[in-house]
Amino acid sequence: MLKIGEFSKMSHLTIKALRFYEKEELLVPASIDKYTGYRFYETSQLETAASIKAYRQLDLSINEIKAIFAGEDAHAILTNKVHQLLEQKSNIDIRISIINNILEEKQMKYQVTVKEIPSAIVYYSEATLSKYSDMMHYIPAIGAEFRRLNPNLKCAESPYEFCEYLDGEYRDSDIRIRHNEAVTSFGNENENIKFREIPAVKVLSTFHKGTYENIGEAYAYIMKYAEENGYRISGLARECYIDGIWNKESITDWLTEIQFPIEKEV
């Protein structure tokens, strides 16, 4: 039997940590002297201590470790942890990019052009997303559903795909979007896929390169341009995702076109 100090040295866990794991019923001493309160561990418990230490280094929570010890599928728990860590890594990469831009004193430079967008038939789908980044999964999924529903229907020769935000304000969650893509004709509909014809429209257009976290700068620039040049915004903004997470490894290479339907003020 090992006293708690000896067990601490051999397990590389502090006494404070051992008392915490005892309280959480992850690593309970083999025996406790009823008179002195001294705790004693068996050498076989060193293996349990090593497992706890290893899982904690992988950022598993106490409850996740308890679940594994209780016999739940460790593979599923660890797979879920991988997904969580990858999402954290993506968020960290975005923050690092923003910080580097600030440190290097880079200024976003935008050029606004006026474009004529011809009328088009589009299939569209509306959805409520938990967060903006969910679009990168939603758009490919809805495209695959469209192709299953209309295997012989082709996209327009001049590709045109965009998303509109349907909320009247910025939202951190429960974001209502409408995804649109131009096609050659009307097709089969279901509860998710619908068709409509959008009229020809004149738009102000600018391109934003880099993370979506900074895209507000592009919106501010194009709105200022419209005001200074006598244009009135006449419709929802359209975001066309040209390059992104699906084809660029670095967030600095992401490219988004922002379009605002306009009318010239008299």
pLDDT tens profile 183-220:
999 999 999 999 999 999 999 999 998 877 778 888 98
Q: Average model confidence (pLDDT) for the chain? A: 88
Query: What percentage of residues in the chain have a pLDDT greater than 90?
Result: 55
Both tokens of 209, joined, read 């390169």
Kindly write down the DSSP assignment for every residue of 14-71, as one continuous string: -HHHHHHHHHTTSS--SEE-TTT--EEE-TTHHHHHHHHHHHHHTT--HHHHHHHHTT
pTM of the entire structure?
0.59
